[in-house]
Amino acid sequence: MTLNVWNNRGDAAAREALINAELRRLAPDVLALQEVLPGQLPRLIEGTGLHGTHQSQTAAVTPPHADRFGGTAIATRAPHRVVEVLDQRGTDAPDVPWLTLAALVPLPEQLGDVLFIAPTTSFRLDMEAQRERQVLALSDLDARHRTALPTIMAGDFNADPEASSIRYLTGRQSLSGRSTHFHDAWRIAGSGPGHTWSADNPRAAEDIGRLVRQPGHRSRFDYVFVGSTHAHPHAYARVRGAELVLDEPVEGVWASDHYGVVADLEVGLLAIP
């Protein structure tokens, strides 16, 4: 599962309670959270049985604006081990306060560890070149730590499926003479356009009006990706379902300015002859 928490804007206490209730109901095994403040993480996962890590617990430096916009966090059913924290800032994207966490998560039934990557890429509409650089770095990160089991990567990529960064990740175009391939869980098993940042959500409408300034704007920015057979020839992660969550108000409360995405994966190893 992935969800952009929208830090502590709006009625944060009510939103946190709603998110926590949904996490208890859904009981995800691996969870990526974006724009979450360090103090929010324990409240969001309280009573869920999840083990959480916020970027502030692992990063050597604190990016600018992290105290306002928060950072990346992961939570997993089994205790995880963070293997790398990737700082995606650069001269072309200096204002990204969200780091990328990569962790190894043990799966049951002696399947071994799976690599779980939780990124957030640059948010500005005119930063696709920076997002291209960032997804290239993500594929390098995967190559450094991937296991036999297909990598799971989930987060807010701030780009529609037609964008070059997403097309690169899904094997539909190359970047800088390089190519890769991850399965987009929504494209396989989701129903409808899957918009996760939409003017239909009052929490998003304000920022859409400020940043996009076009009526009725809707985008699919939030993804669950799984590694393919090319990088994991002896294993599989079959996408059995994908759905939006926290995409409706509960007693007048909208959980965030983004909707969450949940994917149901069947993960296993192939018999080697």
Place 60 in a pLDDT band, splitting at 50, 70 and 90: confident
- At 89 the pLDDT is 81
pLDDT value at position 93? 66
pLDDT at 180: 98
Quick one: what percent of the chain has pLDDT higher than 70? 98
Backbone φ and ψ of 160, nearest 5°: -70, 165
Structure confidence by residue, pLDDT tens digits, 172-223: 999 999 999 999 999 999 999 999 999 999 999 999 999 999 999 999 999 9
Mean pLDDT of 10-36: 97
- Looking at residue 98, its pLDDT comes to 86
Per-residue pLDDT, 90: 73
Least confident of 31-40, 93-102, 143-152, 220-229: 93-102
Mean pLDDT of 136-143: 98
Query: Counting Cβ atoms within 10 Å, is residue 264 exposed (0-12), middle (13-18) or buried (19+)?
Result: middle
Look over the chain and give the mean of its residue pLDDT values, rounded to a whole number. Answer: 95
- Provide mean pLDDT across the span 83-89: 92
pLDDT at 62 (0 to 100): 81
